[in-house]
């Protein structure tokens, strides 16, 4: 049997097991009791079984993260000949008898017929949990009825199942004695593969595509956990150059030859090919002057070309496709074959905020047509959207979701602890809480890094030793909590998916059932807490009910103005009911928020404390000494124009359209929008872009999307504009603008008036008044001394009144007082 046939399957890019579908049989077994029953007094023993260790490719990236989740596990493999062992963290590997067979190091693939027998000889009977990382035979390891076997399947053995004929053809094994022998071996492997699927308690697939393949082959459902991609190793680049890139191992199924052929037909376009493999000579033979074949290149070269490329071209039907995600992490769009894992990692033009374009067949003609279509809409795909999409596939998210799959069935496996076993940069050390110090359970509904979540993050950092966090959605906020070393858990929150601020239709039975499930889960976690700390409105509702059931006091950090401008009638009625049912205390982020809440609920004013949000100055201080010109060049903003920046999610009540209207009156000013539509506000995003196009503002308006480097973006502009058209509960952006030493223009309403003193540390305008906003911007543009004075005064205000330590201390005092009084 061809060595290349096995090699291509083993070294192809692989993904990791996502969670979505639960195997009904496994669920029934889990319902009857835990599958793994470790002896009392010790943690479950874990064994990890991998196919073979000969290189560091896609499957080994997954293995590296599984080891990070379970650092005390023992490791098994058919053979172990890998030279660079850093990803194994120094672990010894127990191998099979194939390790000692003749020529095993170089010809281990030739022993494929013996691998089913070899994997069955590995003795894992002394372990409570067996985790197999399998693209070939690892899932066939023998386990007993009291062991839990979870198999992360990169793919059922591709060359033995649906791709058999393709591999036989590409390996020149379509006829003759060798062909007959290869087919007989593959038939035997298929039978063995199906039989051993019965010993797996839970399948995990690296994509929905592989989950469908698992169901087709084994008649079993699989959870989906996307593989880990080191997105942090790839830097966003918004300025692209006039060339296309493809990068891959040069093997037949990658179809690099089709990509080269397509660009050979369009000599006005440049293609760069990075990679090496059996097809190298074939690729070089097809290359023409506009196709540059670089061969194997170190990471630095790959990264550089990937960042600068106009688009990344991908023609394989891949199980997942790590390189596709890496390209998007660089802000580079993807032109991909519309089949396999790419459909799950790339957003095409039929979706909001697209990141790529699909072609429907593996042919040079289809690739040419796709590139033509891509170039017809040059501004449709934004680099920032590509980066945001790639961040869904981080290693931290993989670890969290994979451990959650194990923790469902195995007592003693701590999802929270394992999640913090990071491959690098361990979290800050946790200091044990002082004896008698109250424990806090913080609750938040969102996975998005909004203002409320950033403020909670500061509290969690300050109280890290005695605070646990429960979220009702996953996302960047959870990752930020992970990085801070917090104990954080994400609960399924299907019941809240259709709950809106403006009320809407009566709740459906499925919604009520989901809410009840969320209450039960929160109540269980409340048992170990002395006080529940709800950070958002929906979290407050769940927290009040769970706190009532668990007999724990609940503090709501009120970060909204609960008026008809922001909340529907039903939602305000729910808030009134919760205030009477079980709120022990309220922390309001402004006098404006507190007064409206008190008027709505008749809540005892003695149980309301106003604590203005605190903002960390460190990210702004880190930029001291970096010039505005350098920041503009780094971000991709024009250097010699007057820039007004607006920093918030794109939502109508945030008033970004008011700044656009002001630009029509102030024609020497550019606008910078930092933020993205987060909560079903894509229509407003489209409306803003349509306004820009209709009024010829494309050269003067810069949409940067969601950014992590807010401090740098604020320092890059000349003025920070806060344009909300309805009262703002607090106005965190205003304080951040002050810390950036930029003059702030803000709407004269809500909590903002508690921050800005007009003419002293900023300027105030009538909400929604584009004429007054334009005139104020004009005055600032014409008077550099005024800008300097307001910037300096604003910085002094932010430091004196809105410091992080002061804010955390005030919240801690309230939580401690409530816990002690209960």
Report the DSSP pairing between strands 148-153 and 129-134. Answer: parallel
The count of residues in the chain is: 822
**Alpha-carbon distance values, 141 to 48, 150, 163, 691 (Å):** 10, 11, 24, 61
Tell how many helices (H) and how many strands (E) occur in the chain: 32, 26
Average pLDDT of the chain is 86
Per-residue pLDDT tens over the stretch 357-400: 999 999 999 999 999 999 998 888 999 999 989 988 888 888 88
What is d(CA 222, CA 220) in angstroms, rounded to the nearest whole number? 7
pLDDT of residue 718: 98
What is d(CA 79, CA 113) in angstroms, rounded to the nearest whole number? 14
Whether the per-residue pLDDT at 84 is higher than 70: the answer is yes
Q: Are 149 and 39 in contact (CB under 8 A)?
A: no
Long-range CB contacts (< 8 A, 24+ apart) of 687-694? 687/657, 688/650, 688/656, 688/657, 688/660, 691/657, 691/660, 692/660
Q: What would you report as the CA-atom Rg of the chain, rounded to the nearest whole angstrom?
A: 29
- Average the pLDDT over 611-626 and give the result: 88
pLDDT band at 436; cut points 50, 70, 90 = low
pLDDT of residue 407: 79
**Burial degree of 556 (CB within 10 A; 0-12, 13-18, 19+):** buried
**Alpha-carbon distance values, 378 to 307, 357, 382, 439, 707 (Å):** 17, 12, 9, 53, 22
Q: How wide is the angle at C-alpha 507 spanned by C-alphas 506 and 512, nearest 5°?
A: 155
What string of DSSP letters covers 619-681? HHHTTTT--HHHHHHHHT--SSSEEEEEES---GGGTHHHHHHHHTT-TTEEEEEE----SS-
Q: Are 253 and 247 in contact (CB under 8 A)?
A: no
Whether the per-residue pLDDT at 592 is higher than 90: the answer is yes
Percent share of the chain, pLDDT over 90: 57
Higher-scoring residue by pLDDT: 653, 495: 653
pLDDT of residue 672: 97
What is d(CA 244, CA 255) in angstroms, rounded to the nearest whole number? 16
Residue 76 CB-half CA count within 13 A: 25
- In order of their start, the domains of the chain are 3-224 (3.40.50), 231-392 (3.40.50.2000), 437-610 (3.40.50.2000), 618-802 (3.40.50.2000)
Per-residue pLDDT tens over the stretch 151-186: 999 988 866 776 677 667 767 778 888 888 878 888
Per-residue pLDDT tens over the stretch 85-108: 878 877 899 999 999 999 888 888
What is d(CA 374, CA 357) in angstroms, rounded to the nearest whole number? 7
What is d(CA 688, CA 746) in angstroms, rounded to the nearest whole number? 20
Q: Are 586 and 558 in contact (CB under 8 A)?
A: yes
Whether the per-residue pLDDT at 502 is higher than 50: the answer is no
The pTM of the full predicted model, rounded to 2 decimals, is 0.49
Whether the per-residue pLDDT at 8 is higher than 70: the answer is no
Whether the per-residue pLDDT at 705 is higher than 50: the answer is yes
How far from each other are the two terminal CA atoms of the chain, in whole angstroms?
73
Q: Are 98 and 76 in contact (CB under 8 A)?
A: no
pLDDT of residue 2: 38
**Alpha-carbon distance values, 74 to 37, 210, 258, 738 (Å):** 18, 27, 44, 53
Q: Are 686 and 380 in contact (CB under 8 A)?
A: no
Least reliable range by pLDDT among 34-43, 174-183, 229-238 = 34-43
Per-residue pLDDT tens over the stretch 641-688: 999 999 998 999 999 999 999 999 999 999 999 988 876 678 999 999
pLDDT band at 508; cut points 50, 70, 90 = low
Residues sharing a CB contact under 8 Å with residue 39, sequence separation 6 or more, in sequence order: none
- Average the pLDDT over 317-335 and give the result: 91
Q: Are 139 and 117 in contact (CB under 8 A)?
A: no
What is d(CA 46, CA 72) in angstroms, rounded to the nearest whole number? 8
């Amino acid at each position: 049997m061809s060595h290349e046939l096995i090699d291509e399957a083993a070294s192809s890019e692989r993904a990791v097991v996502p969670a979505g579908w639960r195997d009904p049989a496994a669920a029934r077994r889990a319902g009857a009791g835990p599958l793994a029953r470790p002896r009392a007094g010790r943690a479950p023993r874990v064994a990890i079984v991998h196919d073979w260790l000969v290189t560091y490719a896609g499957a080994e990236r997954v293995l590296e993260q599984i080891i990070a989740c379970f650092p005390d596990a023992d490791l098994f493999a058919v053979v172990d000949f890998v030279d660079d062992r850093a990803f194994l963290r120094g672990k010894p590997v127990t191998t099979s008898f194939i390790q000692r067979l003749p020529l095993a190091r170089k010809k281990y693939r030739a022993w494929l017929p013996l691998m089913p027998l070899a994997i069955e000889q590995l003795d894992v009977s002394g372990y409570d949990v067996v985790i197999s990382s399998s693209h070939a035979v690892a899932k066939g390891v023998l386990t007993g009825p009291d062991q839990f076997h979870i198999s992360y399947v990169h793919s059922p053995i591709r060359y033995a199942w649906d791709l058999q004929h393709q591999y036989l053809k590409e390996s020149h094994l379509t006829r003759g004695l060798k062909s007959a022998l290869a087919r007989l071996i593959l038939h035997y492997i298929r039978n063995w593969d199906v039989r051993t699927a019965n010993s797996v308690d839970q399948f995990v697939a690296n994509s929905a595509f592989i989950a469908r393949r698992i169901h087709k082959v084994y008649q079993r459902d699989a959870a989906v956990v996307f593989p880990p991609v080191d997105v942090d190793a790839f830097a966003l680049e918004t300025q692209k150059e006039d060339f296309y890139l493809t990068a891959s191992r040069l093997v037949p199924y990658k179809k690099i030859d089709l990509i080269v052929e397509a660009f050979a037909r369009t000599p006005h376009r440049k293609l760069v090919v990075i990679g090496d493999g059996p097809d190298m000579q074939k690729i070089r033979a097809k290359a023409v002057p506009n196709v540059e074949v670089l061969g194997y290149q170190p990471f630095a070269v790959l990264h550089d070309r990937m960042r600068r490329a106009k688009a990344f071209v991908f023609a394989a039907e891949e199980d997942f496709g790590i390189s596709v995600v890496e390209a998007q992490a660089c802000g580079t769009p993807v032109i991909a074959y519309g089949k396999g894992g790419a459909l799950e990692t790339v957003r095409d033009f039929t979706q909001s905020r697209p990141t790529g374009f699909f072609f429907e067949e593996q042919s040079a003609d289809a690739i040419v047509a796709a590139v033509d279509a891509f170039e017809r809409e040059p501004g449709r795909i934004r680099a920032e959207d590509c980066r945001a999409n790639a961040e869904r596939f981080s290693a931290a998210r993989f670890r969290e979701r994979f451990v959650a799959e194990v923790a469902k069935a195995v007592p003693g496996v701590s999802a929270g602890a394992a999640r913090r076993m990071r491959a690098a940069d361990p979290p800050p050390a946790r200091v044990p809480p002082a004896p008698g110090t109250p424990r806090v359970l913080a609750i938040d509904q969102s996975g998005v890094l909004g203002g409320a979540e950033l403020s909670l993050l500061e509290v969690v950092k300050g109280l890290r030793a005695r605070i646990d966090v429960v979220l009702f959605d996953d996302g960047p906020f959870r990752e930020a909590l992970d990085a801070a070393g917090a104990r954080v858990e994400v609960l399924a929150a299907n019941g809240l998916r259709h709950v809106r601020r403006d009320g809407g239709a009566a709740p459906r039975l499925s919604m009520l059932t989901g809410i009840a499930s969320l209450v039960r889960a929160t109540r269980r976690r409340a048992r170990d807490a002395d006080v529940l700390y709800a950070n958002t409105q929906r979290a407050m509702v769940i927290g009040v009910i769970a706190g009532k059931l668990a007999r724990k006091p609940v503090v709501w950090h009120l970060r909204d103005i609960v008026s008809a401008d922001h909340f529907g009638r039903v939602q305000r009625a729910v808030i009134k009911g919760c205030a009477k049912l079980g709120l022990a205390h309220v922390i309001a982020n402004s006098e404006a928020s507190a007064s409206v809440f008190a008027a709505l609920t008749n809540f005892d004013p003695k149980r309301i404390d106003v604590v203005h949000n605190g903002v960390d100055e460190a990210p702004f201080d880190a930029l001291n000494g970096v010039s505005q010109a350098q920041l503009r060049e780094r971000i991709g903003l024009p250097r010699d124009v007057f820039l007004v920046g607006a920093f918030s999610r794109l939502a109508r009540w945030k008033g970004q359209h008011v700044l656009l209207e002001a630009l029509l009156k102030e024609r020497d000013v550019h606008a910078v929008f930092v933020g993205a539509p987060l909560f079903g506000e894509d229509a407003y995003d489209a409306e803003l872009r349509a306004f820009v196009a209709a009024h010829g503002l494309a050269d003067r308006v810069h949409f940067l999307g969601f950014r992590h480097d807010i401090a740098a973006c604020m320092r890059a502009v000349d003025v920070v504009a806060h344009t909300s058209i309805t009262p703002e509960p607090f106005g965190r952006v205003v304080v951040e603008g002050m810390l950036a030493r930029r003059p702030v223009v803000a709407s004269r309403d809500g909590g903002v008036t508690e921050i800005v003193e007009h003419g002293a540390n900023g300027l105030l305008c009538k909400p929604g008044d584009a004429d007054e906003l334009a005139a104020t911007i004009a005055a600032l543009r014409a008077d550099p001394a005024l800008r300097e004075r307001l910037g300096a005064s604003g910085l002094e205000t932010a430091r004196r009144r809105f410091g992080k330590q002061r804010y955390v201390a005030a919240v801690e005092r309230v939580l401690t007082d409530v816990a002690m009084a209960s």
